[in-house]
Amino acid sequence: MGADIIDGKAFAAKLRGRIAEAVADFRRDKGLVPGLAVVLVGEDPASQVYVRNKGRQTLEAGMASEEHRLPATTGQAELLALIARLNADPAVHGILVQLPLPSQIDTAAVIGAVSPEKDVDGFHVINVGRLATGQKALVPCTPLGCLMLLRDRLGDLSGANALVLGRSNIVGKPMAQLLLGESCTVTVAHSRTRDLAATCARADILVAAVGRPEMVKGDWIRPGATVIDVGINRVQGPDGKARLVGDVDFASAAEVAGAITPVPGGVGPMTIACLLANTLTAACRANGLEAPAGLAV
């Protein structure tokens, strides 16, 4: 008997619909349009695709979208000046600087320059600190999406043994904080963890975000566990064609798990949907309103 498939694509579509309804209410009640500004430096092909998709989905949700495309030779001072202008613009509620940035630019300085109240990536140290101390924060989009999928699947997460595989600032660490906030018992595992397979096998919830193709095997997984696979790895198949796989060996894991996200079609679609949720949350908070239920922590 195979695992239930957690359809992130369908969930994200419903989430975007809820956001669009809430944006319409916000526009009617406040006479304002939530606005997202995306900054892209250089011409990285993957980043260009992401930015194009973000712009399209922002407009579809009824929000204002503006893009600032800068050449790869842009200096740090010029980029920081643009961020300062966006920080000061009341029509912009969310600012996203697409990563990675060219080598001449200090990424940490750029992240730190974005107003925490407009930091829809949730990367600013003030938002990181707010999340860690249980305060209202803007939360990184991918972990927020993972949490939404887990809540939808399991309901109350309280008391569950949760393992986060990976300790990045973008996914692993904030994911652990979110699960702590749900009263899970949380373990963070990584490349130095001893007997990783046994550690994974104790988890009721396993979130894999380590960036290694199909690393987690089916016999690592506790029977009936819920598996959230954040990995997106491009590998060459037996036919010589490239394909996308996660950090979990889906075929063997699906034989054991109670529920699992596929790659593609699992966590990936949630990320942009949660970016829209964060932009709406930022717009609400900037105007003294609570974010709509279920969209923020």
Catalytic residues: 54, 98, 121
User: Among 145, 149, 143, which Cα is nearest to 180's?
Assistant: 143
Distances (CA, A) of 123 to 73, 117, 177, 205, 290: 24, 11, 14, 24, 21
Rg (CA), the chain: 19
Work out the burial of residue 31: count CB atoms within 10 Å of its CB; fewer than 13 is exposed, 13-18 middle, 19 or more buried: exposed
Measured between alpha carbons, how far is 13 from 259 in angstroms, rounded to an integer?
Answer: 20
Helix (H, G, I), strand (E, B) or coil at 145: helix
Q: What is the rounded distance in angstroms from the CA atom of residue 284 to the CA atom of residue 9?
A: 26
34, 63 in Cβ contact below 8 A?
yes
Query: Rounded distance, CA 93 to CA 285, Å?
Result: 9
Backbone angles phi, psi at 222, to 5 degrees: -70, 135
Distance CA 146, CA 12 (A): 11
HSE at residue 64, side-chain half, CA atoms within 13 A, is 15
DSSP letter for each residue of 112-139: HHS-GGGBTT--SHHHHHHHHTT-----
